[in-house]
Structure 1
Amino acid sequence: MTAMHAALPLLDALSFPSIRRSHLQTLQINLTYRCNQRCLHCHVNAGPTRDEALSDENLAVLREVINAHSVQTLDLTGGAPEMHPRFRELVVHARREGLRVIDRCNLTILLEPGYEDLAEFLAEQQVEVTASLPCYLRENVDRQRGDGVFDASIAGLQKLNRLGYGAEGSGLVLNLVYNPQGPNLPPPQAALEAGYKAHLAEDFGICFNHLLTITNQPIARFGSTLISKGQFNGYMQLLRDSFRTENLNSVMCRNLVSVDWQGYLYDCDFNQMLELPMPINIIGRDRAHLRDLLGPLALEGNPITTRDHCYACTAGQGSSCGGALGE
């Protein structure tokens, strides 16, 4: 376990309600920890100096899984997933096989040297772009993600808009992602989306499809920041106190498998970062791998590994990679 994870208090394995898997619909692949940014809220601890990346061997297995499995969505994340050298090859293969492909884009990558034609590639392949923009105010974004990130993000959005992203009837989906600035729950998603659309349209002429609100997880870089400020226990109590049972039916781990850069399987991206493997029954091994999806590994009905960080997904309106679970 990394030093960053070891610095956090032990998360309770017993108090969160037990939940089980339903039918697998989405493969979420963490292609690389490499990123051109280093954001305060990043639960992956991604950055420019990270070099972990899915190998060519495991990419070949992933293509086999795509060909053989009934998954509907390939969700590509990182780091900046576009910085993986085989990103475009994987996208083309998945689209050819009829999968919906989501690119979790930080927007500034669209302006980086060597990525100038990335937006055009995404549009050509009709990739759904889910882009991080934690606020529509410059000072808040730059505080969380670094100086100059807001202006670069706006330029990236305008580039996507010029290609048709976010425009009604274009078929090019552009969603934005909001994370709170600190140890708070996101505000109601629908109201915040209306505010984003009004401000971005008026100030920059930007349009987009939907805003997705995601609760910050008390792990990794954000968790360590909470510890350093003496806010960890208070934030965990807020998450527990805001638990809503009805959100258990819609949490993303029920129909998603998270795959790390080594090809190992987890119930979600957050469990992946905490090195909490998916419960399996495979003789001689304690964790499942992509190649197991080509064999008899049965997922539906299996228990999901939970800890107290899972309260971040069920608090208030709920939170998943697809945004709020319910208003």
Structure 2
Amino acid sequence: MHAILHRLELSDFPAITRAQLETLQVNLGYRCNQACLHCHVNASPQRKEMMDEKTIELVIAFLRHRGIKKLDLTGGAPELNPRFRYLVQAAAQMGVHTIDRCNLTILEEPGQEGLAEFLAENRVEITASLPCYLEENVERQRGPGVFATSLRALKRLNAIGYGVTGSGLTLNLVYNPQGPVLPPPQAALEEDYHRELKTRYDIVFNRLFIITNMPIQRFGSTLVSKGQFKPYMTLLKQAHRDENLEQVMCRRLISVDWRGYVYDCDFNQMLGLPLGGGAKPRMHLTDLWHEDLEGRAITVADHCYGCTAGAGSSCGGVLSQ
């Protein structure tokens, strides 16, 4: 991993600066009930890192103080944090729109009874990973039994209104490529997902987001072990488009780790790259209480080409068509 980080730090990626802060993306912990091959967090059931009560209270206070209206919860599996529901309820009471980055299988984990209904009650937007509508492809990437469990979870979400037109309960799906390749066009693949999931399983959803695999953590290590790291980086660089720089997600959000330290994005968090333009090597949420980040430099490295290659990539799917 140190070799990967060294290669990424020696970068010619274009300099970019922050726009107005709109979204607080919070990683509630690196523990997950799965260990997917493409995971840029290197999450697994063995990870112990988890945001504590004091830091969650700080997140709530920061949302209120800065008037931020979008909270993006991620992990690991964010729902495994024992204070997940407390945070969601607190955000809802402040009128903050919350997004839950859900892996679907978490709905059947012990201790998660009533999770789907809780999310619906608090009008949480669900963005769920489903790397394909074919069982073989999903299980190759995410493990045996995951596809069937994911389908059951989707049917359960549909049954309470998620993804159903007019319900106001948003259910988005996320696609990642199977290997070191650029994803296909989002609009065409979204049509395929809608058709195949409805025809095969009577499942509906709102949008499909396509996300490029990042050459870091578990996926990056796999690339190195197979001799594919350099070719993949070359692919990303050759597919770079300057017009995507205006819409990259790091311009309008900050990423908060389980200890309350802040980064320009979730990928930089995983690499330990500090918030750009900061006076300190590592800044904490408490350091940003009165800081105006607009116009500040963003820390960039070669992995950033994953966000600007082709149609671009963000937590909300492609940046352009």
Alignment TM class, shorter chain as reference: over 0.9
Say whether 1:263 aligns with 2:264.
no
SS of residue matched to 1:11: helix
Distance 2:165 2:157 in 1: 14
Q: Which amino acid aligns with 1:45?
A: N
Provide the residue aligned with 2:79 in structure 1.
82
Q: Which amino acid aligns with 2:93?
A: R
Provide the residue aligned with 2:316 in structure 1.
322
- Contact 1:21/1:301, CA 8 A, preserved across alignment: yes
- Contact 2:63/2:69, CA 8 A, preserved across alignment: no
Of 214, 227, 230 in structure 1, the residue corresponding to residue 224 of structure 2 is 227
The CA deviation at 1:7 is 5.3
Distance 2:214 2:157 in 1: 29
SS of residue matched to 1:65: helix
Provide the residue aligned with 1:286 in structure 2.
281
Q: Moved runs in structure 1, 4+ residues, more than 4 A? A: 5-9
138 and 281 in structure 1: CA distance in 2 versus 1, 3 angstrom threshold: closer
How do residues 36-55 of structure 1 correspond to structure 2 at under 5 angstroms?
Answer: 36-55=33-52
Q: Which runs of 5+ in 1 are unaligned?
A: none
Distance 1:97 1:191 in 2: 37
Of 291, 294, 301 in structure 1, the residue corresponding to residue 295 of structure 2 is 301
- Contact 1:54/1:262, CA 8 A, preserved across alignment: yes
Q: Deviations over 1:21-49 (max 9, x none)?
A: 00000000000101000000000010101
Provide the residue aligned with 1:202 in structure 2.
199
- Contact 1:32/1:79, CA 8 A, preserved across alignment: yes
Q: Deviations over 1:97-141 (max 9, x none)?
A: 011100000000001111121000000001000000000000100
Of 109, 119, 126 in structure 2, the residue corresponding to residue 129 of structure 1 is 126
- Contact 2:24/2:255, CA 8 A, preserved across alignment: yes
Provide the residue aligned with 2:148 in structure 1.
151
Provide the residue aligned with 2:248 in structure 1.
251
Q: Which amino acid aligns with 2:72?
A: D
- Contact 2:4/2:216, CA 8 A, preserved across alignment: no
The CA deviation at 1:9 is 5.1
Q: Which amino acid aligns with 1:290?
A: L
Say whether 1:172 aligns with 2:169.
yes
Aligned length: 321
Distance 2:189 2:48 in 1: 36
The CA deviation at 1:70 is 2.2
Distance 2:5 2:288 in 1: 33
| Identical-residue share of aligned pairs (%) | 61
Provide the residue aligned with 1:211 in structure 2.
208
The CA deviation at 1:78 is 0.1
How do residues 3-82 of structure 1 correspond to structure 2 at under 5 angstroms?
Answer: 4-6=1-3, 10-82=7-79
The CA deviation at 1:69 is 1.0
Say whether 1:276 aligns with 2:270.
no
232 and 91 in structure 1: CA distance in 2 versus 1, 3 angstrom threshold: same
TM-score using structure 2 length: 0.98
Q: Which amino acid aligns with 1:253?
A: C
In angstroms, what is the RMSD of aligned CA positions? 1.1
SS of residue matched to 1:10: helix
Of 80, 100, 112 in structure 2, the residue corresponding to residue 103 of structure 1 is 100
Distance 1:185 1:5 in 2: 25
Distance 1:137 1:259 in 2: 34
29 and 316 in structure 1: CA distance in 2 versus 1, 3 angstrom threshold: same
The CA deviation at 1:5 is 4.4
Provide the residue aligned with 1:190 in structure 2.
187
Q: Which amino acid aligns with 2:285?
A: L
Distance 1:81 1:16 in 2: 31
The CA deviation at 1:281 is 4.0
Q: Which runs of 5+ in 2 are unaligned?
A: none
SS of residue matched to 2:71: strand
The CA deviation at 1:298 is 2.0
- Contact 1:8/1:223, CA 8 A, preserved across alignment: no
- Contact 1:280/1:288, CA 8 A, preserved across alignment: no
- Contact 2:181/2:232, CA 8 A, preserved across alignment: yes
The CA deviation at 1:13 is 3.9
Distance 2:292 2:4 in 1: 35
